[in-house]
Amino acid sequence: MLSTLLLLPFVGALVLWIVPEKLAAEKYRWVAMGVAIVSFGLTLLLGWQFDITQPGWQFVEEISWIDAIGLNYQLGVDGLSFPLLLLNGLLTIIAIVASDRHINRPKFYYILILLLNIGVVGAFVARDVLLFFLFYELEVVPLYFLIAIWGGKRRGYAATKFLIYTIFSGAFLLAAFLGLVWLSGISSFNYEDLRSHTLSLTPQLWLLGGLIIGFGIKIPFIPFHTWLPDAHVEASTPVSVLLAGVLLKLGTYGLLRFGFGLFLDAWVQIAPWLAIWAAISALYGAVCAIAQQDMKKVVAYSSIAHMAFILLALAANTRLSLIAAVMQMVSHGLISGLLFLLVGVVYKKTGSRDVTYLRGLLNPERGLPIIGSLMIMAVMASSGLPGLVGFPAEFLVFRGSFPVFPTATLFCMVGTGLTAVYFLLMVNKVFFGRLPDYLAQMPSVTWGDRLPSLAIAVLLLWFGLQPGWITRWVEADVTALMEKSLESNAIQNQPFDLAIDWAIDRAIDWAMVTSLSSELSSGVGAIAPSLDIE
Amino acid sequence: MSQKASQNWTLGKVTVRDRPTTFPLYNCTAKVRGGQCPPYVTFLSHLAIIISFPLIAIYMTDQTLSPSQHPLASAIHDLESGRALLPHSDRNLVEVVGILESYGYVLDAYAINLNYIADHQCLVFFPWFKYFNGEFSLQKLLRHWWHDRINYEYAEYCMKGMFWHGGGGLDAYLDTDEFRQRIEPLIQYKFKYNPVMLGLHKLFPEFLPELVRQMCLYSGLGQFWRIMSDMFLSLSDRYNQGEIKTIPDVVQHILAGLVAAASNPITYRPTVGNSTFEIIPESQGITFLMDTAVPYVEAIFFRGTPFPGTISYNAQAYQIPLHQSDFAYGALYADPLPIGGSGIPPTQLMQDMRHFLPDYLHEIYRTEGRSETDLRVKICESFQKSMFCVTTAALKGLAPFPMDTTNPEEQAQNRQYLEQWMNRFTTSRLQQVRAGV
């Protein structure tokens, strides 16, 4: 079944490659759309058959591939990857719907979209770390071309920058994976085999460091983030949707699956540093977002800030925070996807994303009232307003992380407060006030422009009211992860209340910045994994 | 050029009879008579006066008005030349006639409802079904809730605008003792079995009269719109018969209608139970033109109210004028673009007019801009054009002299009259409408 998810887009790409060049763009689009819909349908079927009470891999497939290097075609899906698989299926359809119907070189464009889909699906279902790496690298190629060919004025610069950063990301990952296999002394890249073999702390720290840098570039965390705003600004709307919605999640998924899963001891040691990094990233992203004039850059920096919450949740390493990490991935995927879609419509209709130029777009007759309303809904979701998906995701992150890293969590909460600041500034400037005369003759918005956004908006509301529809997939696997965590040497059975009291005392005694460093030195992070607030 | 023009403007402003008294040479002569100049200077001065007076007289009788220097001079010259504030074009003609036809149907509905409320809902504190014109049924109620209806709220908005801004004989009559005397029997009859209300009436003697005053405005506006509705529908008929070919024709039609109905009496005789009470008798001399039309134009076309919408007004920051007379939120000033939000009164009118658009105008709208999506903006733009035609007719009708007068003195007075009006138009949409924006 999982192989079908990989084969379908491949066959679709093959069909597109074989059919004549001179067909109308619409026909290529329908082929790609058909493949994406069938793939998503299959993913839903997987979900139907998925046993949410059972942790571990399901729908396992295994074919021996290159024995000499220990590479095997091993696929499987568990509660951590399945929600992301669904998200990818959905956003791929939406990206195709949102693509320009008369796009240049449609054949190549849709082939690349399908190849991108293969790369992402493959990375999410790979049980072999080398196979994961191959798929992880595979998605770079179509994405590079998608930015470089169909991007904005500075697309060459943005695509090259993305490529260079991602190559470095891949290099660090490959080095870490190879180092792990070499140091473990086993001849396979199988994830479970590697997981069952525990290295000593020092090599773990080195290897984990490599993974964190590799995935940190992809996510991205500061200071590895500079490729992202450029890539978003230059990428076309559908590519931005996929980039923010799914591709960045490869990084956080990788951190959870491989960083946390394979190097738990080292993870626990550096968790306080990761929490601080998350807080800095969240605040830095938010402050940068406030300063932007390009709507896409605002959303891009917002992504940087919100992805940092996932790092905080992973660092906290409680059952709740790990569930929250996956939920935040899905939540951010939907919200950022919607935001980029809406910015794309604004740009398509007005020819600008400049917040100092745009104004009054909520005008009911000649503005973009539905798009504006959806934008307000999206920024509310991003700000964590109750009733929308951002609220349960961020609430779980903070609720799960606060007992372990109260100060870092508080800083991240300030970051989410700043989300309201920069997004409301943007919405106020762009959508409120009188529509200027130079924007009064915008072309009409079609339902084709609105439907993708409406589909995501419905999901924002649905998951906001029923967050259990996301968390239920994850719970069993997170419980299993926590059992492993409890077995870790780093576990010390400190009572929960004692740790809370200690953290609060420290927060009161010290100024905020001093408190951060004291948190490090006193080793709160070391006792953190045992603090399961549930 | 500017200085000369200014002098000429002054010449036109002052009547010919007063003109010589300000002549500088005459003043100089007076000084000469005082003995401060040598005799030959006095002689030459007198000679100059004797020679110059006939020349001045010839100059002043033959002269025509020089161009106005007002910022809206082109509009003034158009009016003086028999044209309208809205320039003629085939497109403008189609828009104006078409929109006035739909406006005529809407006004017909508004007038019927206003008159019904005034006549049958007088002193009814909770007129739940006032928009049903006495024909209530479940089916109509469901249609009303489904919003398949006329927005009678807009008519009430206009009524309240007139009530608030006041002006004219009707408004003045409502504050007279006679009015108080005439409504007292009505109040006593209406609440003859309700001692609580009669007691409250004694405690708060202004409450019930104020409600009746409002009913008078319902009736006054209803009667005014009855005439206007017929006028606009007959305009459309004449256009369809080929009799209306230009914008000045439209203005002339409206002007003729206003003049014909000018002295129509405005009366009010509400029915309570089986009795009818004469609140505004014909003997009061309240008439259509001066007591409803002119206050309506002032209140709705010019002043209006700063309705809540996409623009927020801060009265504390003096964003709203201190005096009602300085208000400029009326139909001639309305920005068509921000309309469409819920609760914005002009939107309700545009919404109603879209139901009655003639096919030829609807087809034009469909092919432009966002087709049906921004229909209300396009209706509003056309409506504003038509209101400038109505305003043209009102200005011509109220002018001190006919616009085609050849008498320089009358021309000068007309010029002064028009320039005063144009001062009020400087912040209106007139320039955009004239420029076709």
Nearest CB to B374: which of A365, A434, A437? A365
Task: Write the DSSP assignment of A285-344 as a string of letters.
Answer: HHHHHHH--BHHHHHHHHHHHHHHHHHHHHHH--HHHHHHHHHHHHHHHHHHHHHHHHHH
* Chain A residues with CB within 8 Å of chain B CB: 360, 362-366, 432-435, 437, 440-441, 443-444
pLDDT digits (tens, 9 = 90+) for B132-162: 999 999 999 999 999 889 999 999 999 999 9
Whether residue A390 lies inside any domain: the answer is yes
Nearest CB to B310: which of A434, A437, A444? A434
Cβ neighbours of B351 in A, within 8 Å? none
Whether residue A152 lies inside any domain: the answer is no
Cβ neighbours of A365 in B, within 8 Å? 337, 339-340, 370, 373-377
Cβ neighbours of A434 in B, within 8 Å? 310-311, 335, 337-338
| Helix, strand, or coil (residue A380) | helix
Q: Quick check: B374 and A435 CB within 8 A? A: no
Whether residue A247 lies inside any domain: the answer is no
pLDDT at A69: 82
Task: Write the DSSP assignment of B363-420 as a string of letters.
Answer: HHHHTSTTTTTTHHHHHHHHHHHHHHHHHHHHHHHHSSS-TT---HHHHHHHHHHHHH
Q: Quick check: B376 and A366 CB within 8 A? A: no
H-run or E-run covering A161: helix A155-184
What does the pLDDT average to over A63-69? 84
pLDDT digits (tens, 9 = 90+) for A265-298: 999 999 999 999 999 999 999 999 999 999 999 9
Distance CA A268, CA B98 (A): 77
Q: Quick check: A363 and B371 CB within 8 A? A: no
Whether residue A13 lies inside any domain: the answer is no
Query: Residue A434 gets which letter from DSSP?
Result: P
Distance CA A339, CA A429 (A): 16
Q: Which residues pair with B287 in a beta bridge?
A: B265
Mean pLDDT, chain A, whole residue set: 88
pLDDT tier at B273, thresholds 50, 70, 90: confident
Range of the domain at A493: 263-534
Q: Quick check: B338 and A434 CB within 8 A? A: yes
Cβ neighbours of A363 in B, within 8 Å? 310, 337-338, 340
What does the pLDDT average to over A201-221? 93
C-beta of residue B167 within 8 angstroms of C-beta of residue B286: no
Distance CA A112, CA A185 (A): 38
pLDDT digits (tens, 9 = 90+) for A433-442: 888 989 988 8
Q: Quick check: A363 and B338 CB within 8 A? A: yes
Q: Quick check: A363 and B376 CB within 8 A? A: no
Other Cβ atoms within 10 Å of A68 Cβ, number? 6
- Identify the sign of the CA torsion A149, A151, A152, A153: negative
Give the distance, in angstroms, between the CA of residue A246 and the centroid of all CA atoms in the same chain: 5
Cβ neighbours of A360 in B, within 8 Å? 310, 338
What does the pLDDT average to over B319-328? 88
Q: Quick check: A434 and B376 CB within 8 A? A: no
Whether residue A391 lies inside any domain: the answer is yes
pLDDT tier at B391, thresholds 50, 70, 90: very high
Cβ neighbours of A433 in B, within 8 Å? 310
pLDDT tier at A372, thresholds 50, 70, 90: very high
Nearest CB to B376: which of A365, A433, A443? A365
* Chain B residues with CB within 8 Å of chain A CB: 310-311, 335, 337-341, 369-371, 373-377, 437
Nearest CB to A444: which of B335, B338, B370? B370
Cβ neighbours of A449 in B, within 8 Å? none
Give burial (CB, 10 Å; 0-12/13-18/19+) of A22.
exposed
Q: What is the rounded end-to-end Cα distance, in angstroms, of chain A?
A: 35
Query: Would you report the helix, strand and coil content of chain A in percent, each value rounded to 5?
Result: 75, 5, 20
Distance CA B350, CA B236 (A): 19
Q: Which of A283, A275, A256 is nearest to A78 (CA)?
A: A256
Interface test with A, best of B312, B337, B351, B377 (most A CBs within 10 A): B337
pLDDT at A23: 79
pLDDT at B33: 38
What chain A residue is nearest to B370 in terms of C-alpha separation? A444
Q: List alpha helices for B39-85, DSSP H.
A: 39-62, 73-80
C-beta of residue B267 within 8 angstroms of C-beta of residue B119: no
What chain B residue is nearest to A445 in terms of C-alpha separation? B370
Q: Which of A82, A83, A109, A86 is nearest to A96 (CA)?
A: A109
pLDDT at B260: 95
What does the pLDDT average to over A479-497? 58
Q: Which of B387, B295, B293, B374 is nearest to B334 (CA)?
A: B387
Give the distance, in angstroms, between the CA of residue A329 and the centroid of all CA atoms in the same chain: 5
pLDDT digits (tens, 9 = 90+) for A293-342: 999 999 999 999 999 999 999 999 999 999 999 999 999 999 999 999 99
Q: Which two tokens stand for residue B111?
A: 């007038």
Q: Which two tokens stand for residue A102?
A: 């008369």
Cβ neighbours of B311 in A, within 8 Å? 434
Whether residue A367 lies inside any domain: the answer is yes
pLDDT at A486: 66
Is pLDDT of B47 > 80? no
Whether residue A54 lies inside any domain: the answer is no
Distance of residue A302 Cα from the nearest chain B Cα, in angstroms: 29
pLDDT digits (tens, 9 = 90+) for B48-57: 666 666 555 5
Whether residue A520 lies inside any domain: the answer is yes
Q: Quick check: A365 and B341 CB within 8 A? A: no
Q: What is the ipTM of this complex?
A: 0.71
Distance CA B364, CA B373 (A): 14
Query: Would you report the helix, strand and coil content of chain B in percent, each value rounded to 5?
Result: 65, 0, 30
What does the pLDDT average to over A184-194? 88
Q: Which of A9, A138, A4 is nearest to A77 (CA)?
A: A4
pLDDT at B63: 56
Cβ neighbours of A441 in B, within 8 Å? 369
Distance CA A79, CA B293 (A): 75
- Please give the C-alpha separations between residue B340 and each of A427, A437, B99, B349, in angstroms, as whole numbers: 20, 16, 18, 11
pLDDT tier at B335, thresholds 50, 70, 90: confident
Q: Quick check: A433 and B310 CB within 8 A? A: yes
Q: Are strands A71-77 and A58-66 parallel, antiparallel or unpaired?
A: antiparallel
Distance CA A366, CA B370 (A): 8
Helix axes A468-487, A82-98, angle to 10 degrees: 140
Count the domains in chain A. Answer: 1
pLDDT digits (tens, 9 = 90+) for B173-190: 999 999 999 999 999 999
Distance of residue A424 Cα from the nearest chain B Cα, in angstroms: 17
The phi, psi pair for A368, rounded to 5°, reads -125, 70
Nearest CB to B337: which of A366, A432, A444? A366
Q: Quick check: A366 and B341 CB within 8 A? A: no
Q: Quick check: B337 and A364 CB within 8 A? A: no
Distance of residue B351 Cα from the nearest chain A Cα, in angstroms: 12
Q: How many residues comprise chain A?
A: 534
Q: Which two tokens stand for residue B56?
A: 């001045």
Query: Residue B208 gets which letter from DSSP?
Result: H
Q: What is the 3-state secondary structure (H, E, C) of A488-525?
A: CCCCCCCCHHHHHHHHHHHHHHCCHHHHHHHHHHHCHH
